[in-house]
Chains A and B, each alone.
Chain A
Amino acid sequence: MPAAIEASGLTKVFGETAAVDGLDLRVEQGQVFGFLGPNGAGKTTTIRVLLDLYHPSAGSVSVLGLDSVRDSVAIHARCGYLPGDLELYPRMTGQRVLDWFARARGGDDTAFRSELVERFDVTLDRHVHELSKGNRQKIGLVLAFMHRPELLVLDEPTSGLDPLMQDEFHRLLRETTAEGRTVFLSSHELDEVQRVADRVAIIKDGQLVVTGSVEALRRQAPQTIELHFRAPVAAGAFEGLDGVQRVTVDGNRVSLQAAGELAPLLRVIADHDPVELVTRHADLDELFLTYYRDTPSTDAD
């Protein structure tokens, strides 16, 4: 079975700026793949190259086993897309937008479309320009999902959605992958990605800095350790230990982050008479920040 997405040395240059620079990426079928990065990291550019909206300056991309440029029409027939800045024809009603796109695609699963409209409580009888951002986003979600595509490429899909609709969207994602279909999800919402993604990639300055499962990334990232000692401890006792960073001291309470070999740290802790020790793995937002500092490209698997 071919990968849902496979990019090799993908580069997109605008003028003298490389928005995406030698990106290698593989997304297997049947999973939710989270694509993370702050504004300007190259997420949207990557998505647009995948869908042949942008032409790559170098490298190659295959989507569902097809060449992204040569076979773009066949790829588009099998993909659903929700752009990050969704704009619809403002003078059309939601119903007309859905009808038109369904017809232009050569038909859709009408029953499934109606089900999506109901699940997301989509407003269909008003002109698009009269709708709130959230209501427009719901139309965009229906447009992306209504023809049951094999691959969904979603750029900031929950932007503007209320928590109830976000939950509905997450349920839809689970149903989609349960059917063996793939979701490529770009998001700023790290919490959301943590909940729904099987694997994630973090992009920085157009280059991937890490790819792996959320669990593997969390295991590899520094864990936060909260310590309570019988007496006050100086920060210097921990600073300088290999893998220890972000030491903060508040009287006899110490918080720090530790990665790698823990034995030297545990010996120092034991020497200072601890009364309580709590550890927790990094959340995705901590991971994200960690990888966003100067980190070379790695694979967490």
Chain B
Amino acid sequence: MRTDVARLDLHNRRHLTSAYTIGMALYMLVIVVLYPSFRHSSELNSLSSGKLAALFGVSGPLTSPAGWVNANAYTNFLPLIMLLLTIGYGAAAIAGQDDDETLGLLVVLPLARHGILTQKITAMIAQALVLIVVVAACVYVGRGFELALDPWNVATASLAVLWLGIDLGLIALTVGAVTGSRGSAIGVATAIAAVSYLISTLAPIVSWVRPLRFASLFYWSVGNNQLADGAGLASFAVLAGVAALTGFTANVAFRRLDVR
């Protein structure tokens, strides 16, 4: 399999990916190191019972290891950084390069368009993978700071966040391939992410939103106590299904795209 395009994109984005990853790692280490100071705080636990806490994706006791990591990273800040990375790349990979008029020289190489797309998706997964592996490693470091989480649950929950990033990155990629517009790609993917997040966070507290939670990518990724209970097969089936569907659509759209 050719990897020139993927390696080029990874090289061109190495500073950005490194900055996101190092920043997130430092943040996670601070969260981990602070945990012993808060684990017995009943005051903190009282915050998690309110609707305001739910709006920030927090459920369950904040002083439990899963509650602490969820409230500070896995249900909000980590997905945000992951989506900045994947939506940003998804929008840049096709539409952004077309806007910059660098896509034409790529498309006239003796490479099939589906091959170029596959390499772009591979590059996106690689960037997201670096981020999530580093974050998961930081969570494992927490075992030395009384943050005892089940390794399997951390692994599956982290994998679910990775899939969330891939799905929304692919949506950005697809919208970019359909419209050729980087702005539309970012706008549509971000809007879907925002609505998805809202549904997932409001579902536990607003009765009419509750049935909609199954349509939320956040619910399948981080909104169903995945860090405490592990992400199940249903989560991965939905997240992988969305990725397959958007990947297929992106391929069809890119084959039809008029490239400048």
Listed in ascending order, the chain A residues whose CB lies under 8 Å from chain B are 48, 51-55, 73-74, 76-77, 79, 81, 83, 85, 87-89, 91-92, 100-101, 103-106, 143
Contact = CB atoms under 8 A, between A and B. Distances in A.
B12 interface: yes
Interface residues of B, number: 20
Interface of B: 2, 4-5, 8, 12, 100-102, 104-105, 107-112, 256, 258-260
A51 B108 contact: yes
Given A53-B104, A81-B105, A105 B258 contact: no
A69 B36 CA distance: 63
B105 A143 contact: yes
A27 B110 CA distance: 22
B12 A89 contact: yes
Given A74-B110, A104-B109, 8 more contacts: A48-B258, A48-B259, A54-B259, A79-B108, A87-B102, A88-B102, A100-B4, A100-B8
Contacts of A83: 101, 104-105
5 contacts: A48-B259, A55-B258, A76-B108, A89-B8, A91-B12
Contact of B111 (A53, A91, A104): A104
Given A76-B110, A89-B12, A53 B105 contact: no
Given A53-B104, A100-B4, A77 B110 contact: yes
A53 B108 CA distance: 7
Nearest to B255: A55
Contacts of B104: 48, 53, 81, 83
Given A100-B8, A104-B109, A105-B109, A53 B256 contact: no
Contact of A106 (B8, B100, B110, B112): B110
Contacts of A52: 107
A76 B107 CA distance: 9
A55 B110 contact: no
Given A55-B256, A100-B8, A73 B112 contact: yes
Nearest to A12: B258
A48 B259 CA distance: 8
Contact of A73 (B100, B105, B110, B259): B110
B110 A53 contact: no
Contacts of A53: 104, 107-108, 258-260
B109 A76 contact: yes
B214 to A, nearest CB: 38
B108 A105 contact: no
Contacts of B2: 104
Nearest to A103: B4
A106 B112 CA distance: 14
B256 A105 contact: no
Contacts of A89: 8, 12, 102
B100 A104 contact: no
A91 B258 CA distance: 26
B216 to A, nearest CB: 36
